[in-house]
Amino acid sequence: MKRPIYLDYCATTPCDPEVVKMMMPYFSHHFGNPSSNDHLLGWESKEAVEVARQQLATLINCKPKDLVFTSGATESINWILKGLFFNNGRKGHFITTKIEHSAVLDTMAFLQEQGAELTFLKVDQNGQISLDDLESSIQDNTLGFVCMYANNEIGTILPIDKIGEITVKHNIDLICDATQAVGKIPMDLSSSSIAYMAFSAHKMYGPKGIGGLYIANSDLKSKLGIFLHGGKQEGSLRSGTMNVPGIVGFGKAAALCHQYMELELEQLRSLRDHFELKLGELSGVTIQAFNAKRLPHVSNISFSGVEGERLILTLSKYLAVSRGSACSSIIHRPSHVLKAIGMSDEDALNAIRFSLGRFTTKEEVKTALKVIRDTVLDLKLNIV
C-alpha cells in the first residue's frame, strides 16, 4: 500500500537520516555508560553527551551547563511546575493561557487539587494574550507565567520578549513550552528573560523519548529541586542512566537545524503560503490566525459545510493530517485552542491542521492540494 503524504509535522517529525547515522554506533559499539569514570567506553559516552549538549546550546544560544536532558517536554514541564510549587511549601499562584498543551493544562489541574491558585488568560482570535491582562493578573504570591513559545495548533508565536519585560518587572518566572519553536525559528536565550524552557527532540527531526530543560541559572535550579533520586547524573538533579543514543541524536538534530534553519524557513514559508493561497480559492475556507505572526509551516484550516471527521477519514488514504494535538486526538471533541480563539463547536470540529516539514516537496504539496480540493467538493456535493 502506498504510504500517505505526511503533513503532520507538528505531531512528530521523522528522524533525519544523518541523525540515525550518528546514533547507530552508540547502540552497539560506543555503548558505555557515561557515568562509568574508570574506563575508555565510559569516557567516550560522556564526551558524546557533552558534545550534544554543546550542539543544543549553540542552537538556542545558551550556556551548555544550563541544559538538562529529560525524556521530553512533558517531563520537563511537569518538573518545572511541580518543582516550583512543592518546593515553595505547596503554595503559590500560576498564570497561564487557555491555549496551552495538555502537558501544561493537566499538570496545572493536578496542582490546583494540591492547593495551587490558577489564572487562565483569554486570547484573541489570533491566539494572542493581552499584556495588560497578564500584568493585572500578577499577585504577591505568583510563582510564574506559563506559556507556549508558539502554539501547536494554529502556529501563533507569542511576544516572548515583551512578556519577559513584564515577568522581570514583577520578579516572577517566565516558563516556556517551546516544543514547537526550537529548531524551527531563531532563538537567542542569551538575551531572553525566559527562566525555564521545555522542548523535545522528536519535533525537530530527532528521536522520540529524549528532550531538554533549559534553566537560566543556578538559583533557578535550586528552586526546582531534585526531580529523580538515585544517582548523581545531570548535576544530581535528574538521576538515571543517560540515554546516550537519544542524546547524540538530539545533538545532531540540533546541529542540522542550526545549519539549515534560514533555508528551511524560506522554503517552508513559500510552500505554506502557496498551499493556503490555493485552498483559499475554495468557498467556505477559513485560515485560523491568518494575520498573526505564525510558524512558517503551520496552517489550521476550516472547511464550512464539510464535517471534519468525515474529511479526515476520506483524506487518510492519501494524506496524513490531523485535527490538532496528537495528545488530545484520542477524545473526539472540539479543540480547546480553537474554542479559545472564538470558534463555534461546529467550525472547530471542521478544522484541520496541516503542518509541513523538511522533507515536504513541491510535488507533494501539489498532490495534496488536488486531493483536498477534489475531496471537499465531492463531500459538499454529496451532503444530504
Q: Is 327 a catalytic residue?
A: yes
- Measured CA angle at 177 (ends 176, 183), to 5 deg: 105
Whether 145 contacts 165, CB under 8 Å: no
Q: Residue 121 belongs to what H/E stretch?
A: strand 117-121
Whether 147 contacts 337, CB under 8 Å: no
Q: 10, 62, 147, 327: which one is catalytic?
A: 327
> Which residue, 18, 17, 3, 23, is CA-closest to 209?
23
Q: Which three cell numbers stand for residue 285?
A: 475556507
Contacts of 58 (CB under 8 A, 6+ apart): 254, 255, 258
Using DSSP's 3-state secondary structure scheme, residue 151 falls into coil
Whether 122 contacts 340, CB under 8 Å: yes
Region of 187 on the Ramachandran plot (φ > 0 left; ψ -120 to 50 alpha; else beta): beta
Active site amino acids: 327
